[in-house]
Amino acid sequence: MKYFFYPLILFTTLLLSCKKDPTTEQSSEKPSSAMTTSSEKHYAIVIHGGAGTIKKANMTPEQEIAYKEKLQEALNVGYQILENGGSALDAVQKTINIMEDSPLFNAGKGAVYNSAGEHELDASIMDGNTLNSGAVAGVKHIKNPINAARIVMDSTHHVMMAGQGAEDFAKLYGIEMVDVSYFDTEKRYEQLLKAQEREKIVLDHTSMNTDELIDDHKYGTVGAVAIDKNGNIAAATSTGGMTNKKYGRVGDSPIIGAGTYANNKTCGVSATGTGEFFIRTLATHETSNLMQYKNLSLQESLDNVIKQIGDLGGDGGMVALDKDANIAWSFNTEGMYRGYKKSNGENVIKFYEE
């Protein structure tokens, strides 16, 4: 009997020692829950509305209010998409739509005139997760060029489509088309006439000279960069180009790596300014390269590239965010319409050099 009793005691003891204590089990779950909360990625969106001669002395209080309200509206639209768990791609596209529909900027409704007295619009968008991209150039009837760029990215194996071919393709997907007169604005036409008198090309916001203000500071190329809750980055840019540009001229805005770039490993960037210099330096891609291969910070990378552009004789600026949702911008002009909104509660809008 005793030989049976001792093994039974040993078995019972082992069984009890292996049984989990409810108190211990409950407390072990708390760090796991806390870890999940702390590991949630931050989300954010940063935008620009062009760079150039943007001085407080040239802005009326009414103009400042108009720009702040429109930039805030654009930020809010993109941020709400991110807050609701939407993609960075959708956020930048819808944000750009707000600015394309406003005559305050040189994109969509507020597009400038080329040397032939016409409007030719460009746009691009890029997915930092897949490096997939889409762009349109030289379109004349597409109300929101960024929407056409998104279709090129999502529905073709191409990156860029231009001119009539891009418009015919956009029609197949129901992209809204408008008569060329939709883009006409009196101020833009006056700007063209003044530029032609001086036989020079005018940037997004640059006044003809320091003695004469013609409201150029009201307009500019638009861009947006966002990072969503999944850590995916997207960037987009849309423009009407440069006043009095040669018809058929294409700048940096629709060129991936020049005016727009996004890569989840590094950052997303959107540019505005003298497009030829951003093309020659591959400005937005160079920003990413400096981060990836030189281990520079986002701000250092932007400043480095803008200095290169300035040294070559170009003007402009860029806005960007990195994979950790850090925001940065850099410009060598007297101002740049810009702003950002982050999941930590920060909401900033600025115009002037500060």
Question: Which whole-number Å values give the CA distances from 44 to 98, 141, 152, 233, in the listed order?
Answer: 17, 32, 25, 10
What is the pTM assigned to this prediction? 0.85
Structural domain boundaries, residue 20: 2-38
10 Å CB burial of residue 97 (0-12, 13-18, 19+) is buried
User: Are residues 16 and 116 located together in one domain of the fold?
Assistant: no
User: Are residues 175 and 118 located together in one domain of the fold?
Assistant: yes
H-run or E-run covering 189: helix 186-198
pLDDT digits (tens, 9 = 90+) for 270-318: 999 999 999 999 999 999 999 999 999 999 999 999 999 999 999 999 9
Q: What is the pLDDT of residue 222?
A: 98
Residue 204 banded pLDDT, cuts 50, 70, 90: low
User: Are residues 16 and 98 located together in one domain of the fold?
Assistant: no
User: Are residues 13 and 123 located together in one domain of the fold?
Assistant: no
User: Are residues 130 and 157 located together in one domain of the fold?
Assistant: yes
3-state helix vs strand vs coil in the chain, percent to 5: 40, 25, 35
pLDDT digits (tens, 9 = 90+) for 144-202: 999 999 999 999 999 999 999 999 999 999 999 999 999 988 888 788 888 888 766 66
10 Å CB burial of residue 223 (0-12, 13-18, 19+) is buried
User: Are residues 237 and 133 located together in one domain of the fold?
Assistant: yes
User: Are residues 289 and 339 located together in one domain of the fold?
Assistant: yes
User: Are residues 321 and 260 located together in one domain of the fold?
Assistant: yes
The domain that holds 336 is classified in CATH as 3.60.20.30
User: Are residues 11 and 160 located together in one domain of the fold?
Assistant: no
> Does pLDDT of 203 surpass 70?
no
> Does pLDDT of 6 surpass 70?
no
Q: Which residues are catalytic?
A: 221
Per the CB < 8 A criterion, the answer to whether 219 and 112 are in contact is yes
Q: Which two tokens stand for residue 261?
A: 């770039």
User: Are residues 20 and 125 located together in one domain of the fold?
Assistant: no
One-letter amino acid identity for 139? Answer: V
Domains in the chain, number: 2
Q: Which residue from 148, 56, 63 is spatially nearest to 100, judged by alpha carbons?
A: 148
User: Are residues 150 and 12 located together in one domain of the fold?
Assistant: no
pLDDT digits (tens, 9 = 90+) for 58-106: 889 999 999 999 999 999 999 999 999 999 999 999 999 999 999 999 9
pLDDT digits (tens, 9 = 90+) for 205-244: 554 443 333 344 334 899 999 999 999 999 999 999 998 9
Average pLDDT, rounded, for the chain = 86
User: Are residues 19 and 140 located together in one domain of the fold?
Assistant: no
